[in-house]
Structure 1
Amino acid sequence: MLITEMLPLFFQLCTTIMNRILIILLVQLTLISAASAQNLPEPETTRDTSSLLHVFKSGTINGHARLFTMATDNATGIRDYAATAIGGGLRYKTGSFHGFTLGIGGYFIYDLASSNLAKPDPLTNAANRYEIGLFDIQDVSNKNDINRLEELYLQYKHKTFKATIGKQLPDMPFINQQDGRMRATGIDGLQLHWKPGKNTALQAAYLWQISPRSTVRWFSIGESIGIYPAGLGPDGKPSNYKDALKSKGVVVTSIQQQIHPNLSIQVWNQFVENIFNTAMVQAELRKPVGNKNTLTGGLQVIRQDAINDGGNEDPSKTYFTKGGKSLVLGGSIGLEHQPWNISLNYTRITKDGRYLMPREWGKDPFYTFLQRERNDGYADVNAIAFKANYKLDKLHSKLFLGYGHYYLPDVENAAFNKYATPSYQQLNLSWKYDFQAFLKGMDIQFLFVHKSVLGDESYAAKYLVNKVNMSNYNLILNYTF
């Protein structure tokens, strides 16, 4: 057996063994905590800080509860939806033992009230897109048994080096938490972080499983692609790559370098074995101007290339067309003048080919990204977006305005427009308030999104439903402790 075939099996075995050990230790922790609660604390002079008991008793617990109401107002004649979800989760992390710590965390969700999310729009037969993401997109009928083990990992830290193996939450440009519903995306794998110097940070990861946002299961890399709606293939027929892709895993490497006090650069490479490779270079500038102003700027280049057959030797079942490639160019210029932070942003996806990144894995890293829409699946795109943040410190509030124009290929050009979306304009308005005093740890957020067609052209309902000429309303209450 080849080494590349043995590695995933070896890591999977290690993870399985570790998961069982962690479950046993968690049970032990519960019993220890229950027993110790009946006794008075030991005097500091007699406490044994080298014992396993101390490692568990010096651990930390934090929790998160969320109430999320969402509603979508579609174009006239198209079905509207609404839903309210409530959920909560706990995380526990042990104290350190010679640099090693264990972590475990999970979350549950209940459907308090919702439209019939399983019922498609009668005019277009399109399924619900947004509200279903508050629950389990693979089982719309499940309203009260939505839970997931999100974190289960072993971590080692030594000075500026950190290694984490097991289930954890990601923070990478193309694989990230995309926490815009009830729960975030999770990954299962090995992550390494190292800072060899004050201005340099290195990162490497090997991932073998992903649990996408709005799901409860853990999937192999190939299985995780296609859980969300897959759009059209380049030939205009429905994409057929769900459950048809094979990959031994994802390898991510990066270097982040502070070249100058005002200039930083980061280089990322994401290799999805047997499917495609994505490389990104991003440079960002922060230059003080006067006493209170900071000029900001950024440049971004993303290059993608197919690997082998792009996931499947059958062209009708592959994810990335054999020999396919894409190129993305981005730029941003802005000004920070407290309490303001404003920027003008641009993204160009060239005609080389579709930019493809599984929507199950995270949100776009583009400067023009606004919540509730992606530009994955398109080629020959020009996007420009204005963003403004305003902080009201005395009122413990934050305001955000985002407005963008997204010029996409013709809806019937499937080779360049995977999701048959018309060119659109998008407006995002949000407000966040952090409670104080007795309710400290609680915040409330409101997000309003409106998308409409650019230009005067009329489109059939199938090109509008859940895409454009619609508004999306979100009211979110969080409590963290």
Structure 2
Amino acid sequence: MINRIPLLIGFVFGLFIDGLAQNEEKKVSVNPDFHFRSFWMNTHYPGQDYKEDYALGMSFNLGAVLNYDQKWKLHLGYRTFANITSSEIGGPDPRTGQPNRYETGLFDLLDTEDKFFGKLETFSLEYSTKKIGITAGRMGINSDWINAQDGRLSPTAVEGINAWFAPDSLWKFSVWGIGKLSIRGSSEWLAVGETVGIYPVGRAITGKPAQYFGNTESDWLGIWEVDRKLGKDAKIHFSNTLADNLFSTYWAGFEKNRKVESGIFTFGVQGGFQHGLGQGGNAVLDWKYKDPEDRNYAVSGRLGWKNPKWITHLNYTHVGGKGRWLNPREWGKDAWYTFVPRERNEGFEAVDAMVIYVEYRFGQTPISIYGHLGFHWLSDTKNAAANKYNFPSYSQFNGGLKYRPNKHRNLDFHFLIVSKEPWGRSELTPIQIYNKVEMLHFNGIVNWRWNR
């Protein structure tokens, strides 16, 4: 079915053109959709003899939405990328032999020497009413485990079909069929299996360097989602992410807001189960992405409070079971509440994480500051089968500032500093430090958007 997606797109597009021809009196409108982004990134290892990199990248998406009869929409968008200036980000760190992990993700990980390139990021046809909708083509996505993860110059996008049905204001049912992805940090549209391993692959369960990149067999992704509102202040959510020949992940969550005298109290709980499928990507052990016998579970919770000036919440996650909880980093960020930008906790058999988040907004001044403080206890680094990336337990602090001028609402600025330190006093090897801990990471982001 997935291999027939281009034919389906052509068929639906033909219906769209035929409708235009037969109903010329109905209104056609064009809404421009432009997005410029500038992204400065720099990684520093204080007092350490590791390769330090920097990069300034820019991207521009030239797009539009063609609307017809209030039911049809044709989405188009072409994005260009430019490496304005950078260090030698394509070269390995001399001490460890490891490639750069952060700055290269601004551009094309498959060709780090490419200074300027572009791609057709969006090309989809949508038909929707108040109760049903279907979109076919290249589009954005924001599901639990496959999402935009918009922390570089462009978001991750997918090629496939999305359909939804909302019989009333309380229920919504959604399904996705995906045959290709354009991951952030790539200039190409790739088949599902081809995307797995573009980011660092870590270790096989044997302890040897993993070799699943280019050897992973997976033809499609399927997602189903169910959402149910419970009154005005609560909702429940279910999803299943099925990756052909790799794994199946079930995820559920409940969230509730309650008004109190000082603001709004928030409560959330999530839980999930994951198991391997087929050959886990390949029958060869060192080429295998996921052990088909893996059985993993995760629970995550949140307590929070907010008012017009303050947002704060305390989050906890526990991952357990047999084998590694996995989700390709090319596909999206972690769904659990303890996710902190610039690091993830997939790839481990056991995780305990606690994260505190605080944000303050300066009233009439369009500035907000925020901070994450997280403590992450991971599986023993000596156990390769339980710790894919040879990553030590660590603490992480993120401090950020956001500014959107009142007179220029299309423009926003975002500054972020990240500090990661090992948790505990064990002696670490250079490979356990570089790209991971004992580091400072700086981001400066400017966005300009115009759409109507």
- Equivalence map 1:44-123=2 (5 Å): 50-51=23-24, 54-55=27-28, 58-75=29-46, 76-97=48-69, 99-123=71-95
Question: Deviation digits for residues 368-392 of structure 1, max 9, x if unmatched?
Answer: 1110001110111110000112222
Give the distance between the partners of 2:251 and 2:291, measured in 1 at CA. 20
Structure 2 SS opposite 1:393 = coil
Structure 1 unaligned runs (5+)?
A: 1-6, 26-47
Q: CA deviation at 1:207?
A: 0.6
Aligned partner of 2:369 among 379, 399, 407: 399
Structure 2 SS opposite 1:63 = strand
Aligned partner of 2:342 among 372, 396, 400: 372
Q: Describe the shift of the 1:462–1:279 C-alpha distance in structure 2 as closer, same or farther (beyond 3 A).
A: same
- Equivalence map 1:264-413=2 (5 Å): 264-290=235-261, 292-413=262-383
Aligned partner of 2:176 among 167, 186, 205: 205
Does the 8 A contact of 1:430 with 1:447 survive in 2? yes
Q: Which runs of 4+ in 1 moved over 4 A?
A: 16-19
**Aligned match of 1:31:** none
Q: What is the identity, as a one-letter code, of the residue corresponding to 2:356? A: F
Q: CA deviation at 1:53?
A: 9.5
- What RMSD over aligned residues (CA atoms) do the two structures have, in Å? 2.1
* 2:108 corresponds to 1:136: yes
Size of the aligned set, in residue pairs, is: 447
Q: CA deviation at 1:357?
A: 0.2
Q: What is the identity, as a one-letter code, of the residue corresponding to 2:338? A: T
Q: Describe the shift of the 1:476–1:98 C-alpha distance in structure 2 as closer, same or farther (beyond 3 A).
A: closer
Q: What is the identity, as a one-letter code, of the residue corresponding to 1:102? A: L
Q: CA deviation at 1:475?
A: 0.7
* 2:420 corresponds to 1:451: yes
Give the distance between the partners of 1:422 and 1:18, measured in 2 at CA. 50
Q: What is the identity, as a one-letter code, of the residue corresponding to 2:190? A: F
Q: Describe the shift of the 1:254–1:141 C-alpha distance in structure 2 as closer, same or farther (beyond 3 A).
A: same
Structure 2 SS opposite 1:463 = helix
**Is the helix fraction higher in 1 or 2?**
1
Structure 1 SS opposite 2:328 = coil
Question: Deviation digits for residues 309-332 of structure 1, max 9, x if unmatched?
Answer: 212222222211021121111111
Give the distance between the partners of 1:470 and 1:52, measured in 2 at CA. 62
Does the 8 A contact of 1:70 with 1:473 survive in 2? yes
- Equivalence map 1:215-230=2 (5 Å): 215-230=186-201
Aligned partner of 2:213 among 237, 242, 256: 242
**Aligned match of 2:2:** 8
**Aligned match of 1:28:** none
Does the 8 A contact of 1:74 with 1:466 survive in 2? no
Which range moves more in the overlay, 384-393 or 255-264?
255-264
Q: Describe the shift of the 1:92–1:247 C-alpha distance in structure 2 as closer, same or farther (beyond 3 A).
A: same
Question: Deviation digits for residues 13-57 of structure 1, max 9, x if unmatched?
Answer: 3346778x79xx9xxxxxxxxxxxxxxxxxxxxxx99428952xx
**Aligned match of 1:4:** none
Does the 8 A contact of 1:294 with 1:336 survive in 2? yes
Give the distance between the partners of 2:284 and 2:223, measured in 1 at CA. 27
Q: What is the identity, as a one-letter code, of the residue corresponding to 1:177? A: A
Q: What is the identity, as a one-letter code, of the residue corresponding to 2:301? A: G
Does the 8 A contact of 1:71 with 1:82 survive in 2? yes
Q: Describe the shift of the 1:371–1:98 C-alpha distance in structure 2 as closer, same or farther (beyond 3 A).
A: closer
Give the distance between the partners of 1:380 and 1:337, measured in 2 at CA. 35
**Is the strand fraction higher in 1 or 2?**
2
Give the distance between the partners of 1:424 and 1:275, measured in 2 at CA. 29
Give the distance between the partners of 1:258 and 1:158, measured in 2 at CA. 20
TM-score normalised by length of structure 2: 0.95
Q: What is the identity, as a one-letter code, of the residue corresponding to 2:58? A: I
Q: Describe the shift of the 1:233–1:102 C-alpha distance in structure 2 as closer, same or farther (beyond 3 A).
A: same
Determine what percentage of the aligned residue pairs are the same residue: 30
